[in-house]
Structure formats: C-alpha cells, structure tokens
Amino acid sequence: MTVRAPAKVNLQLSVGPVRDDGYHDLVNVFHAVSLFDEVTATPADALSVTVDGPATVPTGPDNLAARAAALLAEHLGRRPDVALHIRKDIPVAGGMAGGSADAAAALLACDVLWEARLDRETLLELAARLGSDVPFALLGGTAVGLGRGERLTAVEVTGEFHWVFGYADGGLSTPAVYAECDRLRAAGEQDSVWPQVSDDLMAALKTGDAEALGRALHNDLQPAALSLRPSLRDALRAGRAAGALGALVSGSGPTCAFLAASLAHSAELAAALNESGRFAAVRPASGPVPGVTLL
Ligand code: ATP
C-alpha cells in the first residue's frame, strides 16, 4: 500500500498565551500544498522503517510513521507487523509538518493493509493522539485548526493558489521556536493577544483573491524563527523584491513561503529565488490539495 501525504503551510498562525498544560492556544489556518512524502506499507515479521531521504530522519520507534503504525495496531489489538518505507520530499524540521504527513500516511496505509477500514472520525482521533498537525494531513485542503491546532473545520476556497517554497540548509526545532516566542513575549518584544481567525484571510480564500491573500498572511512564530535564524530576514526580502504577493516563514520555519500571482509567475519567482542563492532548494507548488491519498 502506498499513500501520498501533502506538506502544509500555515496561512495564519496566531499563538495565544501559554496554557496551564504548557501548550499554547492556537488559531491555525492550514493549507495543504503539492509537495508530498510517500509511505509504502508492506507485510513483514516486525515493525521497521526505511527512509529514502535525509539521514536526520529517525528510523527507529521515534519515527512518526512507526508511532502511527504502532498506535493503530494497539487500537486494533494486533501486532504491528509492517515494513514502512518513506520517500521524503517534504523538508525535515522545515515547518511544513513532514513528520505529521508521514504519520497520517502510515495510518491510512496500515488501515488499508490490515483491512481495518476505520471510519474517518476514528482515524482523526488516532491522528490527534500522534500530534496536533496529523489530523490536518489526513484531511488536506484548507482548514482552521483551533485548540492545539487539532480541532479542524474545513474552509471554503475558490480556485488554486501558486506558491514557491525556499528550503533552508538545516531545520529548526519546533519546541525551540515556541520557547523563543515565549522568551520574546516575556521580554516585551512581542505582544501576546487572544488569537482570532482573520476575516480578511477568510474573505481572500473565499473569493480566490491572491493579492488579498498575500496581504493577510500572518505567522506569530516568524519573529522567533527570525531571531533564531537571522538570515531568514534577507531570504524573505529576496522574495518580496522578486515580486511575491506575500512572504512568510512556514510554521516554525525555516522554510520560507512566497505567494505568486499565477502559475507563470510562480515559475518566474522560483527562477529569481534560485538565482538569489539564499536557499538550499527552491520548489514551486500549488494549493489547496487533498489530504492523504492511496496511490
Ligand atoms: P511541524 O511543522 O509539524 O512543526 P516540522 O516540519 O518542522 O514539523 P518535521 O519534519 O515534521 O518538522 O520533523 C521534526 C522532527 O521529528 C525531525 O527533526 C525528526 O527528528 C523527527 N521525525 C520523526 N519522524 C519523522 C519523519 N517521518 N519525518 C521527518 N522527521 C521525523
């Protein structure tokens, strides 16, 4: 069974104050884009993971795809006797939820392989136990995520948006970026307000207005990502100078997302960003795309 899962970019990521349980209340507008990992599940004697991609991806029980298979097996009361092979195209620790995509893909692949065919609600519930971004990878499209990001409502979108993603050399740890966000706020360098869904963003998505979407993009984690990786400032500037309608750090970074006006513009933008020499790789993509899909 081979399942494809998309990367996400956060069109809005608003971070509320720290809760008693250490998490933050978020307003998260997820948007699935056409950069995909693939997970293949094959019957085997025991659970194993192999990865076609960067050596930084763990191959032991810590791999999120392995955790997904183990959780599903436990739920079904069976042995997790499956070999998972991950083909990675989503940048690792890049703020595009690649690990979560692999977890969602493994859930679906094993669900089909083991002929469990769980209903969507149950899969979403298992996904939420694996991580806040995993339910969205199952659903795809564009969705508002509340709570820790896992309570999802689909958002109406007209048409397609064209993006260019600038990958960085090396990743950023998501907990480290949240900790830096807390530090900046405690030092009075960043405000902490109760997060709300942006009406301007919802209107831009509904009408398919790329210019308005470019203006409405917002990421509360961006100051923290820039603080930890100052070179991202120039990377974002390079995109704006090349005519991007919007430029922001994707999630916890360090991947940068640039919104283009059209498909043709995304090719021009990608060429200009390649030329800038500020990125390890530059990838055009479109969104929204569906969530995990059996190939
Ligand atoms: P997010 O946007 O959800 O915060 P991210 O895109 O920044 O996440 P990931 O690529 O999902 O980061 O991975 C973060 C860490 O999780 C990696 O550094 C790696 O150690 C670990 N990890 C576990 N499983 C995987 C996987 N299948 N793919 C990538 N990383 C994984």
Residues 142 and 167 in one domain: no
Instruction: Say yes or no: 151 and 187 in one domain.
Output: no
Which CATH number does the domain housing residue 222 bear? 3.30.70.890
Per the structure, the count of domains in the chain is: 2
CATH code (residue 60): 3.30.230.10
Q: Consecutive sets of 10 residues in the chain, 295 residues long: mean pLDDT of each?
A: 98 89 88 98 98 94 97 98 97 95 98 97 96 95 86 94 95 94 85 82 98 97 97 96 97 96 97 96 97 97
How far is Cα 50 from Cα 58, in angstroms, rounded to an integer?
9
pLDDT at 168: 94
Q: What are the CA-CA distances from residue 294 to residues 35, 65, 119, 127, 198 (Å)? A: 16, 15, 15, 17, 33
Nearest-angstrom CA–CA distance, 264 and 113: 40
Q: Show which of 96, 122, 155 is a domain's final residue.
A: 155
pLDDT at 206: 98
Residue keyed to tokens 């961006």: 222
Amino acid 191: pLDDT: 65
Question: Which among 155, 170, 191 is the end of a domain?
Answer: 155
Does residue 14 share a domain with residue 134?
A: yes
* C-alpha span between 175 and 181 (Å, rounded): 10
Strand locations in the chain, DSSP E?
Answer: 2-18, 24-43, 48-52, 82-87, 142-146, 151-154, 161-167, 218-219, 246-249, 256-260, 281-287, 293-294
Q: Which of 139, 155, 171 is a domain's end point?
A: 155
Residue 226's domain comprises 161-287
- In this structure, the residues whose C-beta lies within 6 A of any atom of ligand 1 are 56-58, 62-65, 86, 92-100, 102, 133, 171, 174, 251-252
Same domain assignment for residues 124 and 243: no
100 is in an annotated binding site: yes
14: in domain: yes
Tell me how far the alpha carbon of residue 131 lies from the centroid of ligand 1, in angstroms: 11
Structural domain includes residue 91: yes
Q: What is the pLDDT of residue 274?
A: 96
Number of Cβ atoms within 10 Å of the Cβ of 269: 24
Q: Residue whose CA is closest, atom 30 of ligand 1?
A: 99
Do 60 and 90 share a domain, yes or no?
Answer: yes
CB atoms within 10 A of CB 122: 13
User: What is the per-residue pLDDT for 197?
Assistant: 93
pLDDT at 193: 67
Q: Copy the structure tokens of residue 138.
A: 């199952």
Do residue 260 and residue 214 come from a single domain?
yes
What's residue 16's pLDDT?
A: 87
Confirm or deny that 147 is annotated as ligand binding.
Answer: no
Cα–Cα distances (Å) from 275 to 240, 270, 282, in that order, read: 14, 9, 10
